[in-house]
Chains A and B, each alone.
Chain A
Amino acid sequence: MPKGGALAAADIVRAAAMVAAVAALPLVIPVNIATEVLIYGIFAMATNLLVGTAGLYSFGQAAFFGAGGYVAGYFLAQGFVSLPLALLLAGAGGGVLAALIGALSIRRTGIYFMMLTFAFNQLVFYVIYSWQSVTGGEDGLAGIRRGTIELPFLGTLKFDDNRAFYALAAVLFLVSMAILIRMTRSPFGLVLDAARQNARRTTSLGYSVHALQLAAFVIAGVISGIAGALFGMLYRIMPIDAVHWTGSAYVVFMVLIGGQRSMLGPVLGAAIFIWLQGLFSLVWTRWPLLLGLFVIVVMIYLPGGLLDLFARVSAWRSRLREQRR
């Protein structure tokens, strides 16, 4: 293991590569799709904190994504324009809801935890669906404006231009990624990881595992809420299906397809998932069949996700290089 300096250098290279990739993305695919990739990337990374790091198999993350989107969306549709406040509210909305649901579910494990989060997701869906005067119910919350940022000396930053909005999503994406990576490497992340592998032993070492897991659950809720707010602003509408449980299934899809072992995996999963859906749907009317096959094949042959593929390819290439030598 390289010491401090080398590690930092490698990190800087990686960070620079990430920034370059994010900057180049809208040149390759339409800017709105690129924005959506980043939004779902944020959502998937937050989910991976639970699934990959803490081993909490949540099947109800769409509830927090939706809560954030609806809270911020309602605020912005009412005529308020402060973007920082909207994002703060979205994060708080997702976080408070996650604290409530987490407090009731975190002690359950395996399928029970999964089903509890799923059931809460259904209840949140039902509330949003029925509370029509505020949420728009079935037809979704319309009239959402993209907020603005007031900066001293610089004036007002507006995001009505889709490229400007992409820049905003990119900044939030990179910040979330940096925070989440830091978090998984911090003592907090290491204890979560240890608890995933052996909860009882971690508890016996004196860590209050449940409290830490709850904290992770809330953090994921906050970040998912912010992703939801961005999503509402992207098309200026918060559709009801964003909070449907299939949204929870899809984000888990993204995490597992991409790979759970690093934060790059979920982002890769989100990109592939959104891109593949668009591509398949152009190719064949019965495209979900192709998507289903793709998922099955990935899960069977690359249980570690697509990151596995890269690891294998690079291992194979270095072996090849050695043989040549």
Chain B
Amino acid sequence: MLWLISAQLVNGIAIGMIYALMAFGLSIIKGLLNIPNFAHGALYALGAYLCYSAVSAGLPFPAGLFVAFAGAALAGLVLDRLVVRFVRAGGYLPQLITLFGAALVIEQLLLIGWGTIGLSYSPPELLRGSIDLGFTLVPRYIAFASLCSALVISGVWLLIERTRFGAWVRAGIERPEMTQSLGINVDLLLIAGMMLGAGLAGLAGGLALPLMGATSTMGGDMMAIAFVVLVIGGLGSLYGAIAAGLMVGVVQSLMTVAAPAASTAIIYLVMIVILLVRPQGLFGER
């Protein structure tokens, strides 16, 4: 029993890192632009498709991941210029519905571009098979994907905490009016934030490709989880999403030991309980 729990713990952490990556992008967009990006799941799916096309065209897998990031970031730019900037001043609900509409459009474009049959890609030879930890087997690719997510998250953390761009971003999140008066082009900053967040969703999609394949509807499930993670982490906190992502991954994974069929429902229950005890989420400020 103990080995099973440890095995699920390892699995949960690995999966949780991918959730964290998704929710981190969502968190950046929410923090900077103050919009709930309901098209985040569609961007994730776009990333998976782009990565597939890149590796099918003969590019190595890391290049495929970069294409997924860059492509989704560009899509984020387009989304911002064509849609988001017009609803930025509105309430949550109109924003949500508008982005829901945008997600419908993106998903259908994916079907038009890549066909209705889902796609699969096996990871490079080096990442196939499992690592034997003694008490459990961990597929190499899952280990790689979680490590990769951790590295990317750390990289973005350094970008935000240690660079001038990061300082603007932080200022933009904490004191938007003051940032404006300091002569920083806030509009440009917001675009950069949207692109970064969208890019991270695309990257998560690329990373998920060998595990989940590429389908037009893959974004829906992932986005629901990403929003749960975001809210558990706390809206005011940029990094809460990371801890919350790990937590959700672990809870979901451990749940399969006790009651597998309830492993999806449990994360909503966890979210409700957390919000009832701490209305601002785990790391949010009131």
Check A-B contact in the complex, CB < 8 A.
Answer: yes
**Would A256 and B93 count as touching, CB distance under 8 A?**
yes
**Would A299 and B112 count as touching, CB distance under 8 A?**
no
Q: Which residue of B lies closest to A115 (CB)?
A: B231
A116 within 8 A of B: yes
A295 within 8 A of B: yes
Which 10 pairs show the lowest CB-CB distances between chains A and B? A292-B104, A295-B101, A289-B108, A292-B105, A126-B265, A119-B268, A292-B101, A299-B98, A300-B86, A122-B268
Contacts of B87 in A (CB 8 A): 299-300
Give Cα A51–Cα B97 distance, bound, in whole angstroms: 13
Q: Which residue of A lies closest to B86 (CB)?
A: A300
A249 within 8 A of B: yes
From known contacts A57-B92, A291-B101, infer whether A296 and B83 are also in contact, taking CB-CB under 8 Å: yes
Contacts of A51 in B (CB 8 A): 93
**Would A115 and B271 count as touching, CB distance under 8 A?**
yes
From known contacts A116-B275, A130-B261, infer whether A249 and B268 are also in contact, taking CB-CB under 8 Å: no
* Minimum C-beta distance from A91 to chain B (A): 25
**Would B101 and A293 count as touching, CB distance under 8 A?**
yes
Set A108, A292, A300: member contacting B279, Cβ < 8 A: A108
Set B86, B271, B280: member contacting A119, Cβ < 8 A: B271
Set A111, A120, A292: member contacting B272, Cβ < 8 A: A120
**Would B36 and A300 count as touching, CB distance under 8 A?**
no
* Minimum C-beta distance from A104 to chain B (A): 6
**Would A119 and B36 count as touching, CB distance under 8 A?**
no
**Would A112 and B93 count as touching, CB distance under 8 A?**
no
B residues lining the A interface (CB < 8 Å): 36, 83, 86-87, 90-94, 96-98, 100-105, 107-109, 111-112, 224, 227-228, 231, 235, 261-262, 264-265, 268-269, 271-272, 275-276, 279-281
* Minimum C-beta distance from A105 to chain B (A): 8
A residues lining the B interface (CB < 8 Å): 51, 57, 59, 104, 107-108, 110-112, 114-116, 118-120, 122-123, 126, 130, 245, 249, 252-253, 256, 286, 288-289, 291-296, 299-300, 303
Q: Which residue of A lies closest to B103 (CB)?
A: A292
Set B108, B228, B235, B280: member contacting A288, Cβ < 8 A: B108
Give Cα A293–Cα B83 distance, bound, in whole angstroms: 10
Contacts of A252 in B (CB 8 A): 93, 96-97
Contacts of B224 in A (CB 8 A): 122, 245
Give Cα A253–Cα B98 distance, bound, in whole angstroms: 9
Give Cα A147–Cα B108 distance, bound, in whole angstroms: 41
Give Cα A256–Cα B264 distance, bound, in whole angstroms: 30
**Would A299 and B97 count as touching, CB distance under 8 A?**
yes
Can you offer 22 A-B residue contacts whose CB atoms are under 8 A? Answer: A104-B276, A111-B235, A114-B92, A114-B93, A115-B227, A115-B231, A118-B227, A119-B271, A122-B224, A253-B97, A288-B104, A291-B101, A291-B104, A292-B100, A292-B101, A292-B105, A295-B104, A296-B83, A299-B98, A299-B101, A303-B90, A303-B94
* Minimum C-beta distance from B269 to chain A (A): 7
**Would A112 and B275 count as touching, CB distance under 8 A?**
yes
Give Cα A116–Cα B262 distance, bound, in whole angstroms: 19
From known contacts A115-B227, A289-B109, A295-B98, infer whether A300 and B83 are also in contact, taking CB-CB under 8 Å: yes
Summed over the interface, the residue pairs from A and B with CB atoms below 8 Å come to a total of 107
From known contacts A111-B36, A288-B104, infer whether A57 and B111 are also in contact, taking CB-CB under 8 Å: no
Q: Which residue of A lies closest to B264 (CB)?
A: A126
* Minimum C-beta distance from B34 to chain A (A): 10
Contacts of A286 in B (CB 8 A): 108, 111-112
Contacts of A108 in B (CB 8 A): 275, 279
**Would A111 and B231 count as touching, CB distance under 8 A?**
yes
* Minimum C-beta distance from B238 to chain A (A): 16
Give Cα A115–Cα B224 distance, bound, in whole angstroms: 10
Give Cα A151–Cα B214 distance, bound, in whole angstroms: 59
* Minimum C-beta distance from A209 to chain B (A): 16
Contacts of B269 in A (CB 8 A): 119, 123
Give Cα A154–Cα B105 distance, bound, in whole angstroms: 54
**Would B105 and A293 count as touching, CB distance under 8 A?**
yes
From known contacts A111-B231, A130-B261, infer whether A296 and B93 are also in contact, taking CB-CB under 8 Å: no
Q: Name 13 extra pairs, CB < 8 A, besides A108-B275, A252-B93.
A: A57-B92, A110-B92, A115-B231, A116-B272, A119-B269, A123-B272, A249-B97, A256-B94, A289-B105, A292-B100, A294-B101, A296-B105, A303-B90
Give Cα A163–Cα B227 distance, bound, in whole angstroms: 44
**Would A299 and B94 count as touching, CB distance under 8 A?**
yes
With most chain B CB atoms within 10 A of its CB, the pick from A123, A130, A296 is: A296
Contacts of B86 in A (CB 8 A): 300
Give Cα A120–Cα B235 distance, bound, in whole angstroms: 19
**Would A292 and B102 count as touching, CB distance under 8 A?**
yes
Contacts of A296 in B (CB 8 A): 83, 98, 101-102, 105
Give Cα A291–Cα B102 distance, bound, in whole angstroms: 10
Q: Which residue of A lies closest to B220 (CB)?
A: A246
Give Cα A155–Cα B151 distance, bound, in whole angstroms: 75
* Minimum C-beta distance from A318 to chain B (A): 28
Q: Which residue of B lies closest to A245 (CB)?
A: B224
* Minimum C-beta distance from B47 to chain A (A): 19
**Would A288 and B107 count as touching, CB distance under 8 A?**
yes
**Would A292 and B108 count as touching, CB distance under 8 A?**
yes
Q: Which residue of B lies closest to A123 (CB)?
A: B268
Q: Which residue of B lies closest to A104 (CB)?
A: B276
Give Cα A122–Cα B109 distance, bound, in whole angstroms: 28
